[in-house]
Structure 1
């Protein structure tokens, strides 16, 4: 524990008069507290002193998140969710602690740390240390004084950070329970939150995508309730989706393939290129989880897939065979197969945007571009994707069928960078790139659910 958290309390606390503060979450009592020259605020609802252990949120000041609506951190979301939780409980306290910007390093240094994260790829801890600053410089003496003045020496803390409860306990405030506000990561802050979990011991939310076997990720519901175009690809650490012979059984593990089936169950159509059908003869159905099979779409301008392919022979799902405007197909087809003509392209490859437009004429819902590497890469390069799931498996193939490939830039500053989230599926790591503004908007949901983390005793209520 930092020395500043274990120093004895002093009496340099000046309390201001109470006043009423009507908010969207109820009418709070507002009171200022000045401690060592810094004025903080306590918002109380009901009579927390009469509660055996009221809910308390110690909220560090964050101009960018609380006021400016930044998505780089989760501060604004935590503030809103805390007020909602206190309102639902009917009583509680929110301590708004000023002078704690950037975990206590100040606004100027926080913005300097942001710049290092942007230009050098440092995480939130590395950036602070690179500036010669501690990873967390906050002092909670003022908070302990405020709680004592409010008659609340035994509390339940709204926080995912165990260091906060440790500090309060050492300062004479008994934390009998800690509740983690269940907020989904935003695409823009996922890396930041992962760093705090891995490097600063913050809680991993219950049901977080790092938890194996989860089929209830928010992203599946997001895909199912919006009309997006997304792609999924699993490749080796060195960037191949199959060996040189085309063997891809299997690059990634069972949990990642289950994740793929969850996506299939959420979309209206799943599309692959002809090369994938020729090499893998896929079923493109939902088998690992419950759900309906999406419409299978085969992008095959020259109609070169074998007539005995599963997608043409099996009636498990309706199948759209996208072929060229002038391509001839001989003989009858099974009843589940529909031939759909692509726009004439004068010998050039079909524009991905035109392919999407054709599919949308026949199928509602999101569209999954599942493979292969060339098809996914073309849709990515064309800016036709809203979302990309790229799984890397801990295997080195050395040479084979390439995964994501596109014309890059000579300068690293021109490399593609998008908001992302990471999911751990067994030994595989799946990175979800949120490519479009629409997908970012769809992903920015913040339900305020709570999970309680036990401290010294079982929590109350």
Structure 2
């Protein structure tokens, strides 16, 4: 994401010059009671029923979510640094107890902070008001997942304070290297790191609403363990293309079709210019057998 240095306005300036246009929303969605400025910009309310794990991605029209390791901060290139996308990302962070990412995402975005106001500074006072109303901490807890413990310890997000969920071997590798504001968490014994154990550890510490901005491999692990409840997907009106460099789609390291299709339900659709902001609900694995099955089949 591009860096921002805007001073938050105090004169009632709108969060967005034009609000998102609500195209569709399933009835009965949870509401958090967004502050008026956020509700106006978002085109309605937004909420989650804890415990909940939700992901947020921006994708090109041809399904590219990252441009490869040689392009740091490629999400901004795909989104065009659109203010509406940055607002939605900030809002989703503001709703969360914790933001979950992988070490690859940390490395790919040097200088980034996973806080709501980093993306949308003009909404900072409204994000703070929302977090107070939800009885959240001032900022969401950043959680970096790395079984090996190979993380860039000089990253400013770690300097500011984060949890590094790792194995015992990873914790030994990080011993004495993490900034004082950060610490390691070992969710379970063994040499592998299960996302169920990571989430259980977070929930035991009161983090029941978790946003993941992890990359395709982290999403693959969450989906493989049946742990992702919702997906927010921004469709950017750009074609990225593929040639010789790896340009992953939403999921890596996990094949679902044709033997394990995971159907979703569209529960919200919004629009700003040529961007679409879509919200999907994921059911438990095997809960649906086709696109026209009922949710209870």
In the superposition, the TM-score normalised over structure 1's length comes to 0.45
Higher strand proportion, which one? 1
Corresponding residue for residue 277 of structure 2: 430
Go from structure 1 to structure 2 and tell me whether the alpha carbon gap of 1:374 and 1:242 turns closer, same or farther (over 3 Å shift): same
Q: How far apart are residue 216 of structure 1 and its match?
A: 6.2
In 2, the alpha carbon distance for the partners of 1:425 and 1:365 equals 30
- The within-5 A match list for 1:260-409 is 260-281=89-110, 282-287=112-117, 288=120, 289=123, 290-291=127-128, 292-314=138-160, 318-327=161-170, 328=172, 329-331=174-176, 333-346=178-191, 348=192, 350-399=193-242, 400-405=246-251, 406-409=254-257
Q: Deviations over 1:7-57 (max 9, x none)?
A: xxxxxxxxxxxxxxxxxxxxxxxxxxxxxxxxxxxxxxxxxxxxxxxxxxx
Go from structure 1 to structure 2 and tell me whether the alpha carbon gap of 1:212 and 1:294 turns closer, same or farther (over 3 Å shift): closer
In 2, the alpha carbon distance for the partners of 1:365 and 1:403 equals 27
Structure 1 residue runs of 5 or longer lacking an equivalent are 1-181, 190-206, 438-461
Q: 2:60 aligns with which of 236, 241, 255?
A: 236
Q: How far apart are residue 364 of structure 1 and its match?
A: 2.7
Q: How far apart are residue 358 of structure 1 and its match?
A: 1.6
**Higher relative contact order, structure no. (Cα contacts within 8 Å, ≥ 6 residues apart):** 2
Go from structure 1 to structure 2 and tell me whether the alpha carbon gap of 1:278 and 1:332 turns closer, same or farther (over 3 Å shift): closer
Go from structure 1 to structure 2 and tell me whether the alpha carbon gap of 1:320 and 1:255 turns closer, same or farther (over 3 Å shift): same
Cα RMSD over matched residues? 2.9
In 1, the alpha carbon distance for the partners of 2:28 and 2:225 equals 23
Corresponding residue for residue 186 of structure 1: 26
Go from structure 1 to structure 2 and tell me whether the alpha carbon gap of 1:377 and 1:429 turns closer, same or farther (over 3 Å shift): farther
Q: May I ask how many residue pairs the two structures share in their alignment?
A: 225
In the superposition, the TM-score normalised over structure 2's length comes to 0.67
- The within-5 A match list for 1:1-80 is none
Q: 1:255 aligns with which of 59, 81, 84?
A: 84
Structure 2 residue runs of 5 or longer lacking an equivalent are 1-21, 129-137, 285-297
Corresponding residue for residue 246 of structure 1: 71
Go from structure 1 to structure 2 and tell me whether the alpha carbon gap of 1:363 and 1:188 turns closer, same or farther (over 3 Å shift): closer
Task: Give secondary structure in 2 for the equivalent of 1:255.
Answer: helix
In 1, the alpha carbon distance for the partners of 2:224 and 2:101 equals 16
